[in-house]
Structure 1
Amino acid sequence: MSAPELTRVASDEVLTGEAVALDVQPAGLFLRALGAIIDVLIGILLLVLVFVLGSGPLAQVIPPEALQMTVIVLLVLIMVVIPTAVETLTRGRSLGRLAIGARIVRADGGASGFRQAFIRALVGVLEIYFTLGVVAVLTAAFTPRAQRLGDLMAGTYSQRTRVPALPAPLPPVPPALAGWAQIADVARMPDRLARRLSQFLHQVDRLAPAARDRVAGDLLAETSAFVTPPPPADPITSLFAIAAVRRDREYRALMGEAQRVRALAPALERLPHGFPER
């Protein structure tokens, strides 16, 4: 009997060498395509420059029998050598990725190196230049992290480096509702409804009074089915109180779970490693 699966890692998480799952934000297909277009346009400009030089100054300096070889060397330099060098020296960056706020990292979240950059550049000649990006787009559209073929072969993906700041925490339970908070039951509220409530409360100050009151009334009517007893206050104050009670209780539950795990850690370390075969 094999060991059971103890940890599940979601498609948007990275499992480090210490078996720690990190929640990351891969760059989406649209952002990746935008960054790739910028890089490809720069490459095309260099290719045009190569052909202009090949038909002009280079044709006068280099012998005709060596001109074709020189153009091939320049093409390899532009499509493989320069992208590899730029990505290696900048740890997964390029002009296009700088513009969209992304960088190439390994599958475990570490910085990519020369090997990954070389594989990506080499495969990119086929999937980006030879097929006009069709293979790259199709592959990225059907992979969880929008990975193109070069990423799959190199074991990399594009990670966002510009993430939105976390919203400010909501205020605590209003003092007038402290007694209600001691007996309120908000555990049955669905997570989707709780997210909508939090989003509304974070932008409540930016809404017009009429729209704010209307949405607050609708949300309070929807949450009342999962809150017992209902808070004795106006809709806005009631929603702030409901969100604060739910947040505080979830936080205490998480802290209690972490404390129990720390208490069990010494006992787990004394257990024999692995599972006996049946």
Structure 2
Amino acid sequence: MSAAVGSIHQDEILTGEAVALDVQPLGLMMRALGAVIDMVIGYAIIIVAFIALAASGVDASVFAILQISVIALVFVILPTAVETFTRGRSIGKLAVGGRIVRADGGTTGFRHAFIRSLIGVLEIYLTFGGLAFLVGAFTPRSQRLGDLVAGAYCERTRTPRVPEHTLILPPALTGWAQIADAGRLPVRLSRRITQFLTQSANLMPGARARIAQELATEAAQWVSPVPPVDPETFLCGVAVLRRDREARALDIQNERVDALLGSVR
């Protein structure tokens, strides 16, 4: 039995059904903002607790023990409990739209939260986030050291709204679309082309022309024949061709399923 092996990228997760899911890790700056919010809350709790302990007039030796207990409570125990019971969230992560998940996309548990909180004392609180930011800048999913050890990362929970944009086949490519073949076009390249076409109106003219030329040159290797039109018109034709092809394939699949269900009944 032969098995089809696909290319799984850094921002994709392979499920148990061998389906690659396109995930969106939270960006480094948003993670940093969420960490700052959590840090400010943690430091505020410690300051208030220390002031209360100082005002209570406890013995110096007892005061030192209570200080260590408060630090352990705020820096390790409290973050672990919050992330465990909220399934990877904290006040800072809620504010920036993030959630800690396992490397395979599953929900984190106590072990992941404890490891992250324990290492977070060093890379977040003792270095004021400097070590976490440095490590996150050199990892594909903006993971800090605690994430790497725990096998987790921060997933984006607020997906940006996709603007409505309907692609129409340019009239100059009507005849070309009848004979053209874009079936070998890689899926990720097709996504990049579609994203460019939906956002091209917001680009500067120079950048728009340069990106269109680069994408057209890359797509020309997978499309036959290549029409004698400008790069952006060519990209629009390729995107419409792929969209219509996928729509036809889906219709055929639905028809086969309906026919199968009809024969079973």
Task: Output the amino acid matched with 2:31.
Answer: R
**1:90 lines up with 2:86 in the alignment:** yes
Aligned mates of 2:184, 2:72 — CA distance in 1: 62
Q: How many residues align?
A: 240
State whether structure 2 residue 97 is matched by structure 1 residue 81.
no
Name the counterpart of 2:51. 52
Q: Deviations over 1:49-78 (max 9, x none)?
A: 12211211x32xx44442221221111111
CA displacement at 1:83 relative to structure 2: 0.7
1:247 counterpart = 2:246: no
Cα contact 1:92–1:105 (8 A) shared by 2: yes
The residue aligned with 1:151 is 147
Question: Which aligned pairs between 1:54-203 and structure 2 lie closer than 5 A?
Answer: 54-56=53-55, 58-59=56-57, 62-173=58-169, 178-179=174-175, 181-183=177-179, 199=196
Distance, in Å, in 2 between the alignment partners of 1:200 and 1:255 is: 19
Question: Do 1:173 and 1:244's aligned partners in 2 also have CA atoms closer than 8 Å?
Answer: yes
* Structure 2 equivalent of residue 12 of structure 1: 11
> Take 1:189 and 1:11, find their aligned partners in 2: how far apart are those partners?
20
- Equivalent residue for 1:32? 31
One-letter identity of the residue aligned with 1:158 = C
> In percent, how many aligned pairs have the same letter?
45
- In terms of Rg, which structure is larger? 1
- Structure 1: 5+ residue runs without aligned partners? 261-278
With the length of structure 1 as denominator, give the TM-score of the two structures.
0.69
Change (3 A) 1:150 1:198: closer
Q: Shift of the alpha carbon at 1:42?
A: 0.6
CA RMSD between the two structures: 4.0
Where 2:34 maps in the other structure, the secondary structure is helix
